[in-house]
Copies of this chain bind each other. A is one copy, B any other.
Amino acid sequence: MTRKTSASIQQQYIRDVSVDCVMFGFHDYHLKVLLLQWPGESGWSLPRGPVLRNEPITDAAIRMLHTTTGLDDVFVQQFQTFSRPAESVQQETAAPSSRDSNPHRAPSLITVGFYALVDFDRVKPKVEGNFQWCEITEMPDLLFDHHEVVESALLALRKDLRYLPIAKLLPGKFTLRDMQKLYETILNRTFDRRNFHKLLMSYDFLSKLPEKKTGSQNKSPHLYTIDFEKYESALQDGISY
């Protein structure tokens, strides 16, 4: 297909380009971000990975999240591309193979920022190093420019909220209260319970389940699921709040 170059070279990673991903999860009424600590690295950073020459960048982000968390149907959204000064990047002029064999390590000149919305309970990180879910309000210092990346991701998330399948942050079954808390947490404001209830019911993407959530101290709330087809079409027009 291409002249002069062998297939093996075609499948190399694109040099100097990577994807970074801010993976949002919702747990315990708190918005959290998945952080990794690679073996041999001194601090925390975001999941990141290289991009294959023959791969759409969105696929690269999804592939990277699959290998780090095991999820395979992740909703990702590209939000901004960052460039870093060459001086801040550990320049490797050694053979490409040494880069390709461990392509997660060095930060790259250009990184495409994604955020992901995932069901907290379904994420089982399988990395060699450590990981933690960190509350968005209490982020530690991060490596590289990842602090800025997280900030931008959160701003983009808030901005896109009307058109995003934010419910991907919830488990398959959830209460209305869960959903209200989710919106409240992200937007850092409160909603009137009754108005919020009316609002959600004015769309038709929620289905009440026969089951209820038990174990709390009071009346057991109903559980709901989302009809994602109807949900997506409601999101086309944007949902107001």
Contact = CB atoms under 8 A, between A and B. Distances in A.
Q: How large is the interface on A (under 10, 10 to 19, 20 to 34, 35 or more residues)?
A: 20 to 34
Given A17-B17, A53-B109, A2 B91 contact: yes
- State the oligomeric state as a number of copies: 2
Contact of A112 (B1, B81, B86): B81
A110 B51 contact: yes
Interface string A9-25: 01000111100000000
A217 interface: no
26 contacts: A1-B87, A2-B87, A2-B91, A3-B91, A4-B91, A5-B91, A10-B86, A14-B16, A14-B109, A14-B110, A15-B16, A16-B53, A17-B17, A17-B109, A17-B110, A51-B110, A53-B86, A53-B109, A54-B85, A54-B87, A55-B83, A56-B83, A56-B85, A57-B110, A78-B80, A81-B112
